[in-house]
Amino acid sequence: MAVELDVFVGNTIIMSEEVYQLWLDGYTVNDAVKVRMEGGVLDEFDAKADVVLSDTMDQYRTFQMCERLLHSPTKLANQLLFQIPPHRQATLIERYYAFDDVFVREVLGKKLSKGTKKDLDDISAKTGVMLKSCRRQFDNFKRVFKVVEELKGPLVENIRQHFLLSDKLARDYAAIVFFANNRFETGKRKLQYLTFQDLAFCAGQLINNWTVGAVDNMVEDMDVDLDKEFLQELKELKVLITDKDLLDQHKSLVCTALRGKTKAFNEMEANFKNLSRGLVNIATKLTNTKDVRDFFIDLVEKFIEPCRSDHWTAADMKLYLTHYTNSAHILDTFKHQVVWDRYMGVIKSCIFKMYHD
């Protein structure tokens, strides 16, 4: 008796997001099979262990073959070898370039070089992120840095266009590139309380306000390098602490505005000059590479820690910095309001983010 069969042949790649994540996380095939079986895949698909093993091996092979295309995501859409629907391509790329915050926090601000790569064993042990995954993430950071380092135009947009990432992930990579380029120190113990997202937010503020690109969006390295002309202009702010009459007038204006509005008023009044010197000195030293690298340490040591020791709340901090910034506009002989606002706008935003009361 003749048997009729309907046969459909296609080459659209079938892949499991769960298996892809296991591959990205650095699991071996055998370990991935174990995880899948413990997750109930045998019952879900009424499959045997050897079928799960075969399926996992097949998907791992596919991912490994796709990996070279993932290094240049724009090529993935134009190749014919793998038939992958656009929405699945987007998922593959986004997941491949995703990273663990605990891992990036360990390498943030370090040079993306072979020297740092040698430390990945230790970082893997410290963070619990598998070594293979650490290497993938580190190589991704290095690859993005290398591609966008010399490009003109906005950093976030360049990353988004060349690597087809979501806006959020592109902004996170922009922060990583910015920190690597300027070598900001983030590893000191007193900065350990800050998360990657805290620091990424601050990087965004610096990129949007203190780089050359904040003024001209089509110059070389615009979003990677700080605006040297602006950093030079910051030296003019020194008058706020060297001119005694100006310092006293500034203190009087701020204290008048704060009196009766906070329980920390006495401490604010007593420490005004020290706090003002701290913030202004940070500004005037940013022409030195070492002081740029120590920017976050200086903010913590010269402003955040003294306020924390006096038990300021986050609301106290906002109140103080708002009046401290605005009062400078009323000072009779102070003529650097534009530079002051450009500086203090970023300082306020960063301190608000970094001050965990």
Q: Which two tokens stand for residue 197?
A: 């997202």
pLDDT of residue 114: 83
Give the angle 4-6-8 at the CA atoms, nearest 5°.
155
Taking only the tens place, the pLDDT of each residue in 169-216 is 999 999 999 999 999 999 999 999 999 999 999 999 999 999 987 766
- Helices marked H in 285-330: 289-293, 295-299, 305-309, 314-327
Which pTM was predicted? 0.90
Is the pLDDT reported for residue 11 higher than 80? no
Cα dihedral: 80, 82, 83, 84 (round 10): -120
Taking only the tens place, the pLDDT of each residue in 98-144 is 999 999 999 999 889 888 888 999 999 999 999 999 999 999 999 99
Provide the mean pLDDT of the chain: 91
Q: Which residues pair with 211 in a beta bridge?
A: 226
pLDDT band at 42 (very low <50, low <70, confident <90, very high): confident
Full set of structural domains in the chain with CATH: 17-97 (no CATH), 101-187 (no CATH), 228-354 (1.10.490)
The rounded percent of the chain whose pLDDT value lies above 90 is: 78
CA dist 291 and 132 (Å) reads 35
- In sign, the C-alpha dihedral spanning 338, 339, 344, 349 is positive
- Mean pLDDT, to the nearest integer, of 231-237? 97
Residue (of 146, 107, 150) closest to 126 by Cα position: 107
Cβ atoms 187, 154 nearer than 8 A? no
